[in-house]
Structure formats: C-alpha cells, structure tokens
Amino acid sequence: MHRSILAPERTDWSTADAYDWCQRLAVGHYENFPVASLLLPRTARPHIAAIYAFARIADDIADEPGMSNEERLRLLNDWEKQLLEAKDGRATHPVFAALSESAFRLTIDYSLFTHLLSAFRQDVVKHRYMSFNELLDYCRRSANPVGRLVLQIFNFRDERMFELSDAICTALQLTNFWQDMSVDGSAGRIYAPLEDLRRFGVAEEDILLRRGSASFANLMAYQVSRTRELFHQGRPLIAMLQSPVSLEIRLTWAGGMRILDKIESSGYTVLQTRPRLRWTDGPTLLLQTLLDR
C-alpha cells in the first residue's frame, strides 16, 4: 500500500473530490463481488465507494507486509481517530470527508465503522479460532456491518432485513476464508475452526504447508455446506428489496455461491489453487440472476 493512500498531500477536500477519490480507489481493486456497481442508482454509488474505501484501506493496513504488528495497530488506531474526528467535522482525508458527508445525509450508524476496525485489529493479532461460534463473532464485526451500512444507504432500517443481511455477509466472509486457504496459510493464518480440524483429522501443519488430503477435503466439504446454509438463510432479503438494489444483492449472492461451487468442483484443492470469479463467469451469473426470481 502506497503511503500516499494513507496520507494524501491534500487536506482540503471538497465533497465531490472526496467521493471521486474513493470511487477511483474502488474501481482500481479487483474483488469477487460488485463494488459501486453500475446496477445501483447513480446517487448511491459515491456512498458505497466511500464505505468500500474505508474498509479497503483498513484491511490493507492489517495485512501490510514488512510492518510490525505494533505499527499496524498504531495505523489502525490513527484510522479510527480520523474517523471520529470526521464525525465532528474535522476530516482531512478524502475517505473521511466522503464518509462524514454520507453519514450526515443518510443518518448512517457510525458504530458500524468502529466494529469493522475492531475486526481488523483482531486480524493483526489473532490467527486461530477454536470454534465456529468464535469465527462467527469475528464475521459479525468484519462483514456484517458492511451489509447493514448498505441497507442504511437505501434507508432500510428493519431489524429482520438486518438479520438476513448478516447471514449473507457472514456467508460471503466465510467463502472468502475458504477461497483463500492457501494465501492465509502461507501467512500463518488458519480460519477453519480448530475444533473442526480435530474432528476431521487435519493438522495445522497440513494447512500451513499446503498438504492436501482426503481428510482436508472432508473438512472443506463441511465448511462449504454450512456456508451454503447461511447463504440460503439470507436469501429472503432479496425478495424484500426492489430493483435495482435487489439485482445487485442477487448478483452478489450468486457470486458467493459460484465460488463455493468452484471449490467443490475442484475437489476442495484450495491449498493448491485459489478459485476465483473470472470475466467468463459474468454472463452465467447474470443469466442465472435474471431467471432465478
């Protein structure tokens, strides 16, 4: 991550320039799932991009190579300090100039941003999870706030909708964990619950050294199955939304399920290859989304 992203030379950002900076950052990163998609209303895209930029930079801080944990935590603390200053109208970074405007205009719950930062801090220091419930607690702070923020952008405040969104966002986060088993393992991180490793006879070293086996395939089949269950639990949210928002969420949902399908069809070889969406998946996902209403 270039230092200019954390500390741009400018400090006097107009609202338009701040949103433009966030949108350029958003479109400059490849992700599995749509970011500020053209399917969304034009008026909503800057707000989505501002949230994405906030989370993207914080995530990059937590994962920045060649930096001590102390330095990562210091930068994350400074990121939160800027967040709170922006709430009081003292933003000097384009991300916070944009976020403060979005929060003011849309009445966004600021605590959701601090929940995200709590998860990023945890990612710096915690690399194992004993149980699935412990992993779900991480997802509650690392993923679920994003879905709730998006709903708030469109003025949805219904608690049932929040719960359904949480299920989808947790499923997306878990999908990313299973997709990135080889990458995280190389960094010394294991997100599959240790209780499940013991249950299926998989050693931590198998994951860290990228040693696949029938036991590991069984472990991943189990994780993929219960991640699919979460996707299905959250699916009723789509019917509660109107187009074009419902189409965007349906595409995101389908993208996550497609990754799980790729993991399964590969024989759960995620320690050797990282499954990902390609441009060639786009027409299939779009057609599936349009037909599956």
At residue 35, the pLDDT reads 47
CA dihedral 191, 195, 200, 201 (to 10 degrees): 100
Of the two residues 25 and 233, the one the predictor is more confident about is 233
Q: How many domains does the chain have?
A: 2
Domain contains 83: yes
Where does a domain end: 125, 148, 164? Answer: 125
At residue 33, the pLDDT reads 41
Taken as a whole, the chain contains a residue count of 293
Alpha carbon distance, N-terminus to C-terminus of the chain: 40
Q: Are residues 79 and 154 in the same domain?
A: no
pLDDT band at 90 (very low <50, low <70, confident <90, very high): confident
Q: Are residues 112 and 80 in the same domain?
A: yes
Q: Are residues 194 and 53 in the same domain?
A: no
At residue 36, the pLDDT reads 46
Q: What percent of the chain has pLDDT over 70?
A: 88
Q: Is the dihedral of CA 234, 236, 240, 245 positive or negative?
A: positive
Domain contains 5: no
Read off the pLDDT of each residue in 187-192 and give the average, rounded to a whole number.
Answer: 96
pLDDT band at 89 (very low <50, low <70, confident <90, very high): confident
37 backbone φψ class: left, alpha, beta (φ>0; ψ -120 to 50)? beta
Domain contains 42: yes
Q: Are residues 138 and 103 in the same domain?
A: no
At residue 286, the pLDDT reads 55
Phi then psi dihedrals of residue 273, to 5 deg: -135, 145
Q: Are residues 157 and 34 in the same domain?
A: no
Q: Are residues 89 and 131 in the same domain?
A: no
Domain contains 1: no
Of the two residues 244 and 214, the one the predictor is more confident about is 214
Query: Does the pLDDT value for residue 81 go beyond 60?
Result: yes
At residue 66, the pLDDT reads 86
Report the alpha-carbon distance of residue 155 to residue 85 in Å, rounded: 25
- CATH of residue 32's domain is 1.10.600.10
Report the alpha-carbon distance of residue 249 to residue 252 in Å, rounded: 5
Q: Are residues 60 and 197 in the same domain?
A: no
pTM, two decimals, is: 0.90
Query: Does the pLDDT value for residue 246 go beyond 60?
Result: yes
Domain contains 150: yes
At residue 8, the pLDDT reads 73
Q: Which residue has 């049932």 as its token pair?
A: 160
Q: Are residues 68 and 206 in the same domain?
A: no
Q: Are residues 194 and 263 in the same domain?
A: yes
* b/e sequence 128-163, b meaning 16+ C-beta within 10 Å: ebeeeeebbebbbbbbbbbbbbbbbbeebeeeebbe
* CA distances, 65 to each of 71, 117, 124 (Å): 11, 19, 11
Q: Are residues 174 and 74 in the same domain?
A: no
Q: Mean of the per-residue pLDDT values for the chain?
A: 89
Range of the domain at 188: 126-292
Where does a domain end: 86, 102, 125? Answer: 125
Q: Are residues 111 and 137 in the same domain?
A: no
Q: Within 13 Å of residue 164, how many CA atoms lie on the same side as its CB?
A: 19
At residue 172, the pLDDT reads 96
Domain contains 7: no
Q: What is the pLDDT of residues 16-49, one digit of tens each?
A: 999 999 988 887 764 544 444 667 888 999 999 9
Phi then psi dihedrals of residue 90, to 5 deg: -120, 50
Q: What is the pLDDT of residues 95-115, one digit of tens each?
A: 999 999 998 889 899 999 999
The two three-digit tokens of residue 188, written as one number = 């010394």
Q: Are residues 118 and 131 in the same domain?
A: no
At residue 55, the pLDDT reads 93
At residue 1, the pLDDT reads 54
Domain contains 2: no
Where does a domain end: 92, 125, 158? Answer: 125
Domain contains 223: yes
Report the alpha-carbon distance of residue 57 to residue 69 in Å, rounded: 16
Residue 29 burial (CB count, 10 A): 11
